[in-house]
Structure 1
Amino acid sequence: MSVTQQHLLDTYRALHLGSPVPPAPGIQDVRVVRELREQRRFLAGRPARGRTRQALCRWLHRRPRSSRRPASR
């Protein structure tokens, strides 16, 4: 059975069972390759870019939580 036939069968089943339709094969390939390349660069000690850099910036620059509760009136 080819990938296309399997996708059509999965789509048919999902429609009849009322579950979400699976994504078409090959749609996420470019994203996966970019993330793997980015992760490899990061682990090699090179500067992070894209999603890895955004996640690191969010993690490093998040605001500290206040230990006090605001005064209730």
Structure 2
Amino acid sequence: MTAIEQYLIDTYRASQLGEPMPPPPGRGDVALLRSARTYFQFQAVLEGREARHPWWAAVRRLTHAHGAR
């Protein structure tokens, strides 16, 4: 069963029982990713490392990986 099918069943059940509707699947995904990023940045600060976004470090490694060839 997919997440959408389960959501539709839960929505139907909630409407029949007079309960609040469940949130749609994937609604909190962006908030979860942002909170995870904030947590890892906080851990970096506690460990004395740079708290920049890891993508910047990856871009820097890719662009300066082998220096001048």
Partner of 2:59: none
User: 5+ unaligned residues in a row in structure 2: which ranges?
Assistant: 46-50, 53-69
Partner of 2:20: 20
Partner of 1:51: none
Between Structure 1 and Structure 2, which shows a larger proportion of helix residues? 2
Shift of 1:27: 1.1
The 4+ residue runs of structure 1 with deviation greater than 6 A are none
Question: Given residue 42 of structure 2, which amino acid in structure 1 is its aligned partner?
Answer: F
Partner of 1:41: 41
Q: How many residues in Structure 1 have an aligned counterpart in Structure 2?
A: 47
Structure 1 Cα separation of the partners of residues 44 and 3 of structure 2:
35
After superposition, the CA RMSD in angstroms is: 1.4
Partner of 2:31: 31
Instruction: Give the share of equivalent positions with the same residue, in percent.
Output: 45
Give me the TM-score of the superposition, normalised by structure 2: 0.63
User: 5+ unaligned residues in a row in structure 1: which ranges?
Assistant: 48-73
Partner of 1:4: 4
Structure 1 Cα separation of the partners of residues 20 and 40 of structure 2:
33
Q: Determine helix, strand or coil for the equivalent of 1:31.
A: helix
Question: Given residue 16 of structure 2, which amino acid in structure 1 is its aligned partner?
Answer: H
Question: Given residue 14 of structure 1, which amino acid in structure 2 is its aligned partner?
Answer: A
Shift of 1:18: 0.8
Q: How does 1:52-63 map to 2 (within 5 A)?
A: none
